[in-house]
Structure 1
Amino acid sequence: MSHLKLVSVKETTVSKSGINRFSWIFQRANRGTDADTHVRFQPESMTGMVYSRFMRLDPDTCYDALLSRNRRFDGWFFVGVATTGVYCRPVCPVKPPKAQNCSYYPTAAAAEKAGFRPCMRCRPELAPGHGLLDLSGNLADATATLIEDGFLNEHSVDALARRVGVTERHLRRIFAAQFGVSPVEFAQTHRLLMAKRLLTDTALPVAVVASTAGFGSVRRFNDLFRQRYGLNPLRLRKGSGASADGDMTFPLPYRPPFAWADLMRFLAQRQIGGVERIDAQGYARVVELPNRNDGSRLTGWLSVAHVPQRFALAVTVSPALTPVVPAVLARVRRLFDLDSRPDVIDAHLGALASGSPGLRVPGAFDGLEIALRAIAGERLAAAHAGAVLARIAERFGTKVEGAPPGLTHAPPSAVTLAALPPAALEELGITRETARAILSLARAVTDGMLALEPMAPLDATLAALRAMPGFDERAVQYVAMRAMAWPNAFPADDALLPARGEHIEHIEHIERSRMPSSSPHASRWAPWRAYAALHVWRLQGDVLR
């Protein structure tokens, strides 16, 4: 019988909270016969571990995953096939190649550097990404995330190195060691795969595709596409049913299971009227993002539906957002926690997770929005806090035209809020103390003193929030969980949790008491305490923040 054994290797960086950063290393452990070739995780080996993008690619283990089309490995490695010259996801539907014809790569960029082209059947550009830990503790992961968000479309590698706080030489060295390519090669592959996605899923003109994907010129895009993939970009258009001037729909796969109903319930309890709409069809919201091409701000809308039979979400984006499609899709992935590894997390949480396998931690489409909710939630229940944010959006946000029913305004930017006097917010029924907290937050973001995003330095950001008015520790942890995508945040300090060590799986039937984040329960859930908090809230049915 074939198994995967997970062994932790401690990295050099240790957080101030005392939680070690780890990398997953996959090793082969043969037990019994070889009759069962399914790839499995051993839950007992997961305790106390977290994961990053790095994994040691053992050929036997990877080939087992390929044979079983195990979706838990989708996006964690790519398979180069010598006989066809293409590289695939481990879930590719075509007949598996022979083992001797396979080679394995940690990223699509590494596979393309080795001379392989992306498979047209499984489409490597659709593979789920890698779950986020504290990106400030892993420079290579933080760098890759910045590149995927388009940083190198506008800045140099030297600027990228300064952003993560190291020299350019050191950045190149650690990045190549982890991903097998340079930052520029990684960015180039990311642009090409985004262009491939736009060519396949939309009918946008090639010039628009090139610009949206981050290429400076159509000629450069065409030349590189032909050189790397061996075909004219327009060949991908055959059979496409996309409309040239209509809405665009993109599939975003995930690793199952996915507790869609519980996630929708969480978001529905906290929706901001006019900005968001959650109903039986799914999730929809108004979007306003900066256009990097000319500095303007683009306003449009998106909707998200669950397609469980394809293990994916279908994201529809309005035409007005075409220039920022890559940013929109990246934010949707974070909002719905699509890069999560539910098999690893659920096994670690044990019985707590058994009632809702694959529960995701809802992220943030905009970090400021989550921080404002945390401030409003200090004194109000979730629904009332959402109503306050809806009034702010209606008064100071940008109106959107042609959106689906129920969507009317984009939330105001930090710049807009920072310029307001406290009285402008007090007119909406907001207390003077809360108004001043909101304005203080907006000014810190506008001045560049605070970045509410996963790539921001965790300890420094949390310290800055603690020093600001309107943030107690629960609010700080809530922002860390949703805006900064920190999986070990624990905002459930105000949740009523079992006292004296009762079994958490029976939480809905026993006496509750308040429990601080330093309690034994919270500690044993590390490094996935954010997921534990969501399960606790789910079991209690409480609507908090």
Structure 2
Amino acid sequence: MDLDPAACYRAVQSRDRRFDGVFYTAVHSTGIYCRPSCPARTPRVENVSFHPTAAAAHAAGFRACRRCLPDTTPGSPRWDLAADLAGRAMRLVADGVVEREGVEGLARRLGYSSRHLNRVLHAELGAGPLALARAHRAQTARVLIDTTDLPFADVAFAAGFASVRQFNDTIREVYAATPRELRQGRRATPGTGTIELAIGLRAPFAAAELMAFLVRHRVAGVETGGADWFARTMRLPHGAGSLRVELLDDPGRVRLQLRLADLRDTAAAVERARRLLDADADPGAVDDHLARDAGLGPLVRRHPGLRVPGHVDGFEAAVRTVLGQQVSIASASGTAARLASAHGSTFGGGDDVPTVVFPSPAQLAEADPEQWPMPRRRAATVHRLATEVAEGRLELDRGVDRDATRAALLALPGIGPWTVDVVAMRAWGDPDVWLPTDLGTQQALTMLGLRPEAAESWRPWRSYAQSQLWQLVLEQPRPTRRTRPSRPATKEAS
């Protein structure tokens, strides 16, 4: 990853928060690295170097600044924009694949040898997969130390360390302090499987609009929410879990509560929550680009920081999108809820937390599609999709090769471009998806007096333009029963 030192230093001089997480500033005179917006005195230009990842700064011998906490910044939006090998690897590392499957498992998922993967990551990111995973474990541990009362043994376990000794050694090396010193005497309480923390994102953040979208598309039993919060269950690598996100007065943070069957799933659960909120987006770059368009500009200025609603599970997103073909949102959500109730499992419960876990690929593959409450052809499509994923011929996580997986999905009967593009946008984090056949898109374009070809100027942020168009449709008053038009046979996702 090429970094322009002059441009990076200008960002540091201006303390521009938009670059937090995009690169890191290493100060040679102090031996620490900072985020660009660190409030400390700006170092002299001859005393700094710039690194694309925290792992690269660690590998170069620098420690994390204890004032600006550079390891708690949002991730770089580059990984979703480029979707190259380095970006795919970063997403899988954040999901804990190295801890669960090792470097060989990571390389196998990406379709390359471990040697080639090491070479590419060192060239692109300044660190190999082991160093990236180590940095991610340290960052997860730091967040848990700062924001929870978990005992340190539980923190080490939840962050993915193999032992408490490894945890202590890494924390001392990365932060030049012991875990106890970082927590500064806070009293710990026994771990219960429930974790509360805050996750950071870049402002502006159109939080209310995102919550409204998620709540409108909720599947009863699996998801629930209100004006300023959203909760749902999820399948995780070591068991089930649930998350609850709640808006705060601070536009750069969201409160996250996790309930987990296994604390080893902490990092994966946090990563899924970040996906749901599109927390690594760069709203400044997106809004600056889209606001230049005469037709779209007023919408962007009305809703700055509008996110693309994400998803916690690629398979679930694909199934629900298939169920949403040519039917209303309410109908699709109702069908998904009945499917989940009949074939899913249960987890936990409690205040404002649903209990139904959406079925796994294996659970749906083993079920009889003839009994499902949907047309036979659609049931056959869902069953075939579940079978392909359950038997390992298809993967739908965020680290997939988008082009190859798109082709594999399109090869399945009953799945067309609209379905794949919705999955790419919401589950894979593709920032440049355009849905010209979507009913909501067509309605918004008509209201704005725009033609579909206008979207070409919105690249590479067409997914965010899509969100603006859907938001416009949602704001329109609903027609009364007497004037409601007949529904055209088109697909609807908004």
Normalised by the length of structure 1, the TM-score is 0.80
Per-residue CA distance 1:52-111 (angstroms, 9 max, x = gap):
xx34141x4333322332111111112223443322212223444444443322211121
Deviates more, 1:243-252 or 1:416-425: 243-252
CA contact (8 A) 2:66 2:175 kept: no
Cα distance, 1:414 vs structure 2: 1.0
Deviates more, 1:438-447 or 1:213-222: 213-222
1:544 to 2:490 alignment: no
Cα distance, 1:175 vs structure 2: 1.2
Bigger strand fraction: 1
CA contact (8 A) 2:318 2:423 kept: yes
Gaps of 5+ in 1: 1-53, 292-296
CA contact (8 A) 2:81 2:431 kept: no
1:191 to 2:137 alignment: yes
Q: Which residue of structure 2 aligns with residue 424 of structure 1?
A: 371
The whole-number CA distance in structure 1 between the counterparts of 2:401 and 2:202 is: 28
The whole-number CA distance in structure 2 between the counterparts of 1:388 and 1:144 is: 35
Q: 1:116 to 1:270 in 2, by over 3 A?
A: same
Map 1:344-493; keep pairs closer than 5 Å.
344-350=285-291, 351=293, 352=296, 353-405=300-352, 407-425=354-372, 429-493=373-437
Q: Which residue of structure 2 aligns with residue 313 of structure 1?
A: 254
Q: Which residue of structure 2 aligns with residue 21 of structure 1?
A: none
The whole-number CA distance in structure 1 between the counterparts of 2:127 and 2:85 is: 15
Q: For residue 166 of structure 1, what is the amino acid of its counterpart?
A: Y
Per-residue CA distance 1:414-453 (angstroms, 9 max, x = gap):
111110012332xxx3222222121111111101122112
Q: 1:116 to 1:462 in 2, by over 3 A?
A: same
Q: Secondary structure at the match of 2:250?
A: helix
Deviates more, 1:136-145 or 1:195-204: 136-145
Which residue among 300, 304, 309 is the counterpart of 2:245?
304
The whole-number CA distance in structure 2 between the counterparts of 1:496 and 1:277 is: 23
The whole-number CA distance in structure 1 between the counterparts of 2:191 and 2:101 is: 31
Q: Which residue of structure 1 aligns with residue 222 of structure 2?
A: 275
Which residue among 461, 481, 485 is the counterpart of 1:528?
461
Map 1:37-436; keep pairs closer than 5 Å.
54-58=1-5, 60-131=6-77, 138-240=84-186, 243-245=189-191, 247-291=194-238, 297=239, 299-309=240-250, 311-318=252-259, 320-350=261-291, 351=293, 352=296, 353-405=300-352, 407-425=354-372, 429-436=373-380
Cα distance, 1:364 vs structure 2: 1.2
The whole-number CA distance in structure 1 between the counterparts of 2:29 and 2:420 is: 53
Q: Secondary structure at the match of 1:309?
A: coil
Map 1:25-44; keep pairs closer than 5 Å.
none
CA contact (8 A) 2:157 2:263 kept: no
Q: Secondary structure at the match of 2:338?
A: helix
Per-residue CA distance 1:441-494 (angstroms, 9 max, x = gap):
111110112211221121221122222233222112111111222122223412
Q: For residue 329 of structure 1, what is the amino acid of its counterpart?
A: V
Q: Secondary structure at the match of 1:155?
A: helix
Q: 1:405 to 1:316 in 2, by over 3 A?
A: closer
Q: 1:369 to 1:158 in 2, by over 3 A?
A: closer
Q: Secondary structure at the match of 1:283?
A: strand
Q: Which residue of structure 2 aligns with residue 50 of structure 1?
A: none
CA contact (8 A) 1:303 1:316 kept: yes
Q: Secondary structure at the match of 2:302?
A: coil
Q: 1:152 to 1:133 in 2, by over 3 A?
A: closer
The whole-number CA distance in structure 1 between the counterparts of 2:8 and 2:463 is: 30
Q: For residue 261 of structure 1, what is the amino acid of its counterpart?
A: A
Q: For residue 74 of structure 1, what is the amino acid of its counterpart?
A: D
Q: 1:544 to 1:165 in 2, by over 3 A?
A: closer
Per-residue CA distance 1:97-133 (angstroms, 9 max, x = gap):
4444433222111212222211222222211102256
Per-residue CA distance 1:182-229 (angstroms, 9 max, x = gap):
222222222222222222222223222222222222223223333443
Deviates more, 1:93-102 or 1:165-174: 93-102
The whole-number CA distance in structure 2 between the counterparts of 1:469 and 1:93 is: 56
Q: Secondary structure at the match of 1:493?
A: coil
The whole-number CA distance in structure 1 between the counterparts of 2:2 and 2:248 is: 29
CA contact (8 A) 1:253 1:311 kept: yes
Q: Which residue of structure 2 aligns with residue 508 of structure 1?
A: 447
Q: Secondary structure at the match of 1:478?
A: helix
Q: 1:224 to 1:534 in 2, by over 3 A?
A: closer
Bigger helix fraction: 2
Q: For residue 379 of structure 1, what is the amino acid of its counterpart?
A: Q
Q: Which residue of structure 2 aligns with residue 4 of structure 1?
A: none
Cα distance, 1:162 vs structure 2: 3.5
Q: 1:422 to 1:463 in 2, by over 3 A?
A: same
Q: 1:402 to 1:269 in 2, by over 3 A?
A: closer
The whole-number CA distance in structure 2 between the counterparts of 1:509 and 1:196 is: 47
Q: Which residue of structure 2 aligns with residue 36 of structure 1?
A: none
* Cα RMSD, aligned residues only: 2.6
Q: Which residue of structure 1 aligns with residue 479 of structure 2?
A: none
CA contact (8 A) 1:136 1:458 kept: no
The whole-number CA distance in structure 1 between the counterparts of 2:72 and 2:135 is: 13
Q: 1:82 to 1:90 in 2, by over 3 A?
A: same
Gaps of 5+ in 2: 477-491
Cα distance, 1:329 vs structure 2: 0.7
Which segments of structure 1 move beyond 6 Å, counting only runs of 4 or more? none
The whole-number CA distance in structure 1 between the counterparts of 2:376 and 2:3 is: 55
% same residue? 38
CA contact (8 A) 2:242 2:353 kept: no
